[in-house]
Amino acid sequence: MRHISRATTLQPDRIERLAIFIDGANLYAASRTLGFDVDYKNLLAYFRRQAYLVRAYYYTALLETEEYSPLRPLVDWLGYNGYSVVTKPAKEFTDATGRRRVKGSVDIEMAVDVLDLAPYLDHVVLFSGDGDLRRLLESVQRRGVRVTVVSTIRTQPAMIADELRRQADAFVDLADLAEHITRRQVEPRPRMAASAGSRTAPLRATPAEPFRESPDLPE
């Protein structure tokens, strides 16, 4: 049986069949908190240099009630430039206080694609910190596929769930990839845990910012 390394750097063999799966909202939040914007052209080129890149998936939720989504230019560009883009409608809610909330998890879509492609891969690279994906990693690993998770622990609090990091064969901090996938430098944004009584403005998308789930939105 092939030994699976738990190295903390991304060093796949040249002959490996590799695919990357990107939770757009998660990657955006992590990179902006670390103080840089992702250049998706550079990101794709970086992984193509590492191994045989079978496919690159990008997942995001779009608010379809708006006549024009500011996220659409990014989604269109990715689709024409080497990414398989998977979108789903974001859901709008009004909470008990009358505030507008937006929810758009892509976990199920990502899990389906990872499991479908796993028989044709040696290595999965997952850009996410969501602990709900731990069982997905476990399932893929049972099929003999190595899994690397990319997120960051260099923020307060860390942006990856501990159980996801423990399950992965390798963890790569996004900060260590920055020099390879950076578009431009921006000022780091402080990240604070939301308190139960805090008031949160509606979450909006920009061309580089997918929708993120409101923290207090009911399931």
What's the rounded Cα separation, in Å, for the pair 146 and 141?
Answer: 6
Domain-embedded: residue 130: yes
Query: Tokens 């694609």 map to which residue?
Result: 113
Q: Could you say which DSSP state residue 158 is in?
A: -
pLDDT category, 101, cuts 50, 70, 90? Answer: low
**Residue 141 belongs to domain with CATH number:** 3.40.50.1010
Residue 202 lies in a domain: no
Question: Between these two residues, 45 and 14, which has the higher pLDDT value?
Answer: 45
If you count DSSP H runs as helices and E runs as strands, how many of each does the chain have, helices first?
7, 10
The Cβ-side half-sphere exposure at 16, using a 13 Å CA radius, reads 22
Structure confidence by residue, pLDDT tens digits, 145-176: 999 999 999 999 999 999 999 999 999 999 99
Inside any domain, residue 1: no
DSSP 8-state class, residue 119: G
Average pLDDT estimate for 84-90: 90
Q: Which is more confident, 141 or 65?
A: 141
Check whether 204 has a pLDDT greater than 50: no
